[in-house]
Amino acid sequence: MTRRLVTLLTLLPACALATPDGTPFATLNTVRPATVEANWTRMKMPDGGRTAFASVSYLVAYDDDWGFGPGFYGTAKGNYGGIFTVGFTGQRRWRLNSSTHLAASLYVGAGGGLSNSTMRFGGGLMLRPELSLRTENGGWYTGVGISQIRFPSGNVKSGVGLAFTVGRAMDFASFPPSDAGKPARAGRRSGLGFDEIALTGGIEKPRASSRTRTGKPYAGKVGKAGADLRQYVADGSWWGFEAAGAAKGGVDGYMEVLGQIGQDWAPFGTPALRIGGQLGAGLGGGGDVDTGNGWLLRAGPTLRWITPWGPTVRVDAGITHAPSGSYSAPFVRAVLAMPLDRTPRLIENDPGGTVRVQQLGASVMHLPRVRFKDGRQESVSHLAVNMSREFSPRVYGTAQAGSAAVGSAGAYSFGLFGLGVQSAPLWGRTRVGAEWLVGAAGGGGVKVGGGAVTQAEVWAQWELAERLRLRAGVGQFRTIRGGDQSTPLTHLQLSYALGVLQR
């Protein structure tokens, strides 16, 4: 985060400055330092057991010293698989010499899991301050420091202890949001750098050896809904991240986050139809699913069809296995993927594309009438990470992931994705719009049936600065099947806007 912000306006060759008909190309105007950072934090739980939280955060430089970004924490040791939080990290760095820096961080998130009479997460708010010393080697760095994890409204709190860090420095390139709709070339990926975003839905059938945390065998199937992001590093070779939650089968509150790699080939003589395989590893648990310490492994074949219209349709199959738990299940799922970018080419050979606006932000949502399984009804506030991306000037895709932070629903989490429509700018810097999302939710004693939920909202958005957006909305949240849950909501969102290339 300590490298200078780089301006690229002078770096593009003359041949990249206009289309064949003379229309000027939009240009990447800034490259900000960014980093992907992983942490490992040990702690003792209130019931006497020991665990460790593993995390992944993505931080983008605000200036030469400060970085901010979303992060995810999950338990990865002991018999505590299923404790998750989602939130944001702010980090200040001080350069000590050419290969060493000191970092002070504060993570603010929400979540929980596996609550019982001796272990309570309260409303779900989690704080994790850290002070660490890092040593750099090329684009990588490692660090050791002190940190503390605490849920202020519950009794889950660690002492001040050692924390370990591994990070990878990279760049975050973007166009000005005001260039939306213009033709552009980049010669590199823009924004988060992923080539594809996908919506997933499928079924798992737990094997006879699978058990709940109370020792009961599973009867029936588990339905899941989620999303994934991919980057293609070569023809058919890719890596990415996947997140999903239970949407059917009586295990509401189950959640999983995995990193994945894969390869596919075109054996039928057409590059549009491809067969391959994928491997994944990550964390999962909750919903009374016995994943032991939380680690999950996944492997299986894939069939991918790249349609002539741009989207990709996939069918994935395989096995999900918890090595230290009592859960193993074959699965099959259908996937619809939308293109975001593609493997970069030399700018002279890049046919270019169109600049679209993408927003990354933080949300606070208040639900005044949330129903719980024990019959009570209370207000709950959520903290969420959100992302939206324009497909055209009036239509956009959007996704949210978050957890309860205020109230008594600690360990409640959700993941939603959907489509929205928006107006042209009104009264200068104001827009209005509406969106509809579906997804999975559960945990914290909240009544959500099998876990499939939906949310609809109307909103107004104000442009506070060139890249800063403030949005306020009202809507309704409810379960898809039955009347288990239906509550109005109010939503306040602060987002960072950037221009990305749609090719």
pLDDT tens digits, one per residue of 326-350: 999 999 999 999 888 877 766 666 6
Q: DSSP letters along 239-299, please?
A: EEEEEEEEEESS-TT-EEEEEEEEEEE-TTS-TTEEEEEEEEEEEEEBTTB--TTSEEEEE
> Could you give the CA distance from residue 277 to residue 316 in angstroms, rounded to a whole number?
9
- Cα 148 from chain centroid (whole Å): 24
What confidence category does residue 187 fall into, taking pLDDT thresholds of 50, 70 and 90?
Answer: confident
- pLDDT score for 347: 61
| Residue 271: other Cβ atoms inside 10 A | 11
Q: Which of 30, 104, 28 is nearest to 62 (CA)?
A: 30
Residue 2 clears pLDDT 50, i.e. is over it: no
Please state which of the four CATH numbers 2.40.160.20, 3.40.50.720, 3.40.50.880, 3.60.21.10 is assigned to the domain occupying 194-339. 2.40.160.20
Q: Which two tokens stand for residue 289?
A: 């699913």
| Chain segment 453-462, per-residue pLDDT in tens | 999 999 999 9
What's the average model confidence in pLDDT over 467-492? 93
Place of tokens 């994705």: 417
| Beta carbons of 40 and 52 less than 8 angstroms apart | yes
CATH of 30-174, one of 1.10.287.130, 2.40.160.20, 3.30.70.3270, 3.40.50.170: 2.40.160.20
Name the residue among 174, 167, 199 with its Cα closest to residue 341: 174
Please determine, for residue 17, whether its predicted confidence score (pLDDT) is greater than 70.
Answer: no
Amino acid at 68: F
Q: What's residue 241's pLDDT?
A: 94
DSSP secondary structure code for residue 364 in this structure: E
Cα–Cα dist 359/330, whole Å? 36
Question: Residue 466 is encoded by which pair of tokens?
Answer: 């060139």
Average pLDDT, the chain: 90
28 phi and psi angles, rounded to 5 deg:
-60, 125
Q: What is the mean pLDDT of residues 477-500?
A: 92
CA dihedral 201, 205, 207, 211 (to 10 degrees): 80
pLDDT of residue 15: 40
Closest to 134 (Cα-Cα) out of 251, 233, 274, 39: 39
Express as a percent the part of the chain with pLDDT over 90: 68
Which positions ≥6 away from 468 have C-beta within 8 Å?
494, 495, 496, 497
- Contact in structure between 488 and 476 (CB atoms under 8 Å): yes
Rounded distance, CA 22 to CA 183, Å?
11
More confident residue, 449 or 377: 377
Model confidence at 258, pLDDT cuts 50, 70, 90, reads very high
Question: In whole angstroms, how far apart are CA 427 and each of 181, 272, 458?
Answer: 20, 45, 18
Distance separating alpha carbons of residues 400 and 332, to the nearest angstrom:
24
The per-residue pLDDT for range 199-256, each reduced to its tens digit, is 999 999 999 999 998 888 988 899 999 999 999 998 889 999 999 998 888 888 899 9
Confidence of residue 80 (pLDDT cuts 50, 70, 90): very high
Q: Do domains 30-174 and 194-339 have the same CATH topology?
A: yes
- The domain limits of the chain are 30-174, 194-339, 354-502
What pLDDT score does 399 carry?
A: 92
- Residue 63 binned pLDDT confidence (cut-offs 50, 70, 90): confident
pLDDT at residue 117 tops 90: no
Q: Model confidence at 134, in pLDDT bands (50, 70, 90)?
A: very high
d(CA 94, CA 102): 5
> What CATH number has the domain spanning 354-502?
2.40.160.20
Q: Is the alpha carbon torsion for 123, 129, 130, 136 positive or negative?
A: positive
How far, in Å, CA of 498 to CA of 409, rounded? 34
Quote the pLDDT of residue 13.
39
Residues 6+ apart with CB under 8 A from 97: none
What pLDDT shows up at residue 350? 67
SS3 166: strand
Q: pLDDT value at position 482?
A: 74
**85-103: per-residue pLDDT in tens?**
999 999 999 999 999 999 9
Look at residue 421 in the predicted model and tell me its pLDDT.
97
At residue 185, does pLDDT exceed 90? no
Query: Rounded to 10 degrees, what is the CA torsion of 254, 109, 260, 137?
Result: -150
Least confident of 307-311, 340-344, 420-424, 438-442: 340-344
